[in-house]
Every structure is written in structure tokens, then in C-alpha cells.
């Protein structure tokens, strides 16, 4: 299996960020679609993509793609796929997720049932078995229909890639780690620049920024479903990818990354999460309201996920809160600010129109990434920039 195709789902609107990550890993882009990037690689790509990609939700191994408008057609085309190349006779296999958009076959439970039956029929013929023990490694399948075209994949990841393993304590409305990383990568922020999150919650933005600064692979301290697929993915590939990840870490760098929150309990949780991620020494957390947001240096970045006001009583406080954000931002000479929020009056109360505005779906919630761009620091003059 020298060349395989992999599918990396991501948040809608952030495909370009994920595409760049995949290219930087050295893999060929096959296709970019809404909410996913398809790329080609070898067996090692399964391991490296899971361990290194910051903005993908999971890594799926493409088994087949075909058109089907009846359940008979679905059954025959699933049965025609070479499942024995992936699933051994004792493998545990099931359809973990089925989805359908603008397709004649739309019932997820019926799709799941037909796919499983067709796979069993195929493997019965290959292995000469009438019954499968399913006592071995797990091989979850995902199938998605879009306009009657089915994409059939094996899920190599297991728990979603946003589950880095460090966030044991969460705030009321946490942002996903993968989304936070993508939003940081959309900005010009670099590890030698100041970054402040005045609504840091459980610390996701500062922690993801610190991991980026220290070149720390997000998946280096967790496990993946495909680690047990030794029938066609040698364990050596995982060991080599983890070794590569550890060799690239540089956590002795100097950073100016700060996280503030008005809630002291949440700040304590953020510190615990940063410690679990191994980056607590790179972040300064402090209990502080947004009304006290200030910094003596120039050319910094605010990157934050302020309250959206999903509850009615919270919504009433939003004009005052966003006005405060605008007031404090105006005092930060030459800074840039990036806010993800679903609050439609953000620009009105910030008191400034955003230079850029990007629509991003945070789950099913439509949000906007408001980008207020400050001037670039003078090139090659670190002292002047940091005054």
C-alpha cells in the first residue's frame, strides 16, 4: 500500500489553513472541498498527519468513492471494495457515522445497516467464515453522501484530534483546540510577538499559541485507533513519527503569551491545562477583567473568543462589554485584534469596522472572525518594536 488517499475534515471556512499544514508536511493535495482536504501519502502519512496536524478534526483513510441512489446499489458497491486489504478476520468493524446531504439515500441508520451487511458478505467470501468474532483491533467506518456520491473511509484517529489530552478543566463555552489553532494560524502572529487573550477561559488560545511557538506537535502525547492496525500499518511508523515530533520541540524559547479572565477559578483551571500540555512556563495567566486590559509594548496581538450572549440575560450585557473591548483596544497603540464571535453588533460597539471578516462555522453556530489589523513592526529592529 505505497500510495493511499487520506481525508482530513476541518471547520468550514478553514480549509486553506489545513491545506497549508498538509503541504508543509510534504504531502500532495488531491482535492479541497467544503469542510475537508483530501491528500495523498504513504503509510507513514497516517501516523504523521495524526500527530502533526493542528487544524484537522481527524484523519480518514479513503477506501472508495462511488455514486449510489438505491440501497441495492449501495450494497453491491460496498461489497465490491477490497475490505480484506484493511480488516483482518478477527477485526471489529462497524459504521461509526453515516451522513447524507442532498442525496436520495438519507437515513443514517439504514445506510449504516446496509454497509455493515455488505462488508460482512465480502469478508465471508474472502476469509471463508460464516461468523466473525470481532475480538481484534477496531476498524470504525465513516460514510458520507453528498449529492448521491458516497465517500467511504476508515477512521484512523478515534477520539477527535481536538482532544489533545491537556484540557481536563473546561470553561462554560470552550473553543475547540483545532479551531483555536486554525484561528491563530490565520494571523501573522509569530512566537516572538506578544499575544494576549483577555477572555481566555480554560486557556485554549494561549496554550495552542505556546504549542505552536515551541513547535510542539498536538498529537504527540495521545493514542490513535490505527496504532493497532499492524496488519497493514507497521508500528514502526508511529514510533518514527513520535520521535520526529519530540526532536522538533524547542520549549526553551522566550515568549510573551498572556491569558486573562475575570473568573479566578477558570484561571486556575487554565494553569492546570497549560501544565498538562507542558507549556505552563511559556504563558502568564492572571485574573483580570477586560476593563483593565493594557500592555506597555507595541505591535502585540489580541486573539480571543469573547462571550456571544447565547442566553438572553447575557445578551443584555454585550453592548457594554464590546464597548469596553473597543475602548481598551484603542489604547493599545499599533496592536492587532482578532475576535471570533456570533454577536452581530460587534463592529458597532467596538467602534471600528474590521479590516477583514471571515465567516466560520463553530459546530452548527455561524460565527465571524473579525480582524482589526495594526501596522507591521519595523523589520530587523527588535528593540524598537518592543518599546
Mean pLDDT, range 27-36, rounded to an integer: 97
Quote the DSSP letter at residue 157. -
From-to residues of CATH 3.40.50.150 in the chain = 177-216+231-385
Please check the confidence at residue 306 and state whether its pLDDT lies above 60. yes
| E strands in 132-274 | 138-146, 149-155, 194-197, 256-261
Phi, psi values for residue 63, rounded to 5°: -100, -35
Given a cut of 50, is residue 217 above it in pLDDT?
A: yes
Pick the CATH number of 177-216+231-385 from 3.60.15.10, 3.40.50.10090, 3.40.50.620, 3.40.50.150: 3.40.50.150
Adjacent-strand bridge partners of 26 = none
Contact (Cβ atoms closer than 8 angstroms) between residue 172 and residue 200: no
Architecture of the domain made up of 4-155: 2-Layer Sandwich (3.30)
Helix axes 264-277, 204-213, angle to 10 degrees: 30
Range in 19-33, 62-76, 160-174, 190-204 with the lowest mean pLDDT: 160-174
Average pLDDT over residues 342-350: 95
pLDDT band at 384 (very low <50, low <70, confident <90, very high): very low
pLDDT in tens, 62-85: 999 999 999 999 999 999 999 999
* Portions of the chain given CATH number 3.30.2130.30: 4-155
pLDDT above 70 coverage of the chain, percent: 96
Q: Kindly report the backbone phi and psi dihedral angles of residue 185, in degrees, each rounded to the nearest multiple of 5, phi listed first.
A: -70, -15
Amino acid at each position: 500500500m505505497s500510495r493511499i488517499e487520506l481525508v482530513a475534515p476541518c471547520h468550514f471556512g478553514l480549509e486553506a489553513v489545513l491545506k497549508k499544514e498538509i503541504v508543509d508536511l510534504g504531502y500532495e493535495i488531491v482535492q479541497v472541498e467544503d469542510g475537508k482536504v483530501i491528500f495523498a501519502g504513504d503509510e507513514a502519512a497516517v501516523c504523521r498527519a495524526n500527530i502533526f496536524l493542528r487544524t484537522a478534526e481527524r484523519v480518514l483513510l479513503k477506501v472508495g468513492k462511488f455514486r449510489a441512489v438505491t440501497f441495492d446499489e449501495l450494497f453491491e458497491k460496498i461489497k465490491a471494495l477490497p475490505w480484506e486489504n484493511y480488516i483482518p478476520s478477527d477485526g471489529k468493524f462497524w459504521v461509526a457515522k453515516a451522513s447524507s446531504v442532498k442525496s436520495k439515500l438519507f437515513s443514517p441508520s439504514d445506510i449504516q445497516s446496509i454497509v455493515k451487511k455488505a462488508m460482512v458478505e465480502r469478508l465471508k467470501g474472502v476469509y471463508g467464515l460464516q461468523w466473525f468474532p470481532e475480538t481484534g483491533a477496531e476498524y470504525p467506518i465513516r460514510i458520507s453522501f453528498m449529492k448521491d456520491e458516497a465517500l467511504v473511509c476508515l477512521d484512523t484517529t478515534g477520539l477527535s484530534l481536538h482532544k489533545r489530552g491537556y484540557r481536563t478543566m473546561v470553561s462554560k463555552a470552550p473553543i475547540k483546540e483545532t479551531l483555536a489553532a486554525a484561528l491563530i494560524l490565520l494571523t501573522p502572529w509569530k512566537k516572538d510577538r506578544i499575544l494576549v487573550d483577555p477572555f481566555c477561559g480554560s486557556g485554549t488560545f494561549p496554550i495552542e499559541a505556546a504549542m505552536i511557538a515551541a513547535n510542539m506537535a498536538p498529537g504527540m502525547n495521545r493514542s490513535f485507533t490505527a496504532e493497532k492496525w499492524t496488519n497493514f500499518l507497521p508500528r514502526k511508523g508511529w514510533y518514527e513519527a513520535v520521535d520526529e515530533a519530540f526532536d522538533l520541540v524547542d520549549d526553551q524559547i522566550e515568549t510573551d503569551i498572556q491569558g486573562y479572565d475575570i473568573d479566578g477559578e477558570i484561571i486556575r483551571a487554565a494553569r492546570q491545562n497549560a501544565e498538562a500540555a507542558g507549556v505552563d512556563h511559556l504563558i502568564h495567566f492572571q485574573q483580570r477583567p477586560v476593563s483593565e486590559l493594557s500592555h506597555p509594548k507595541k505591535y502585540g496581538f489580541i486573539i480571543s473568543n469573547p462571550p456571544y450572549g447565547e442566553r438572553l440575560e447575557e445578551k443584555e450585557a454585550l453592548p457594554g462589554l464590546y464597548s469596553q473591548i473597543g475602548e481598551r483596544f484603542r489604547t493599545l497603540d499599533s496592536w492587532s485584534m482578532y475576535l471570533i464571535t456570533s454577536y452581530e453588533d460587534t463592529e458597532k460597539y467596538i467602534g471600528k469596522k474590521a479590516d477583514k471578516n471571515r465567516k466560520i462555522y463553530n459546530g452548527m453556530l455561524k460565527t465571524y472572525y473579525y480582524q482589526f489589523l495594526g501596522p507591521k513592526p519595523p523589520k530587523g529592529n527588535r528593540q524598537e518594536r518592543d518599546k
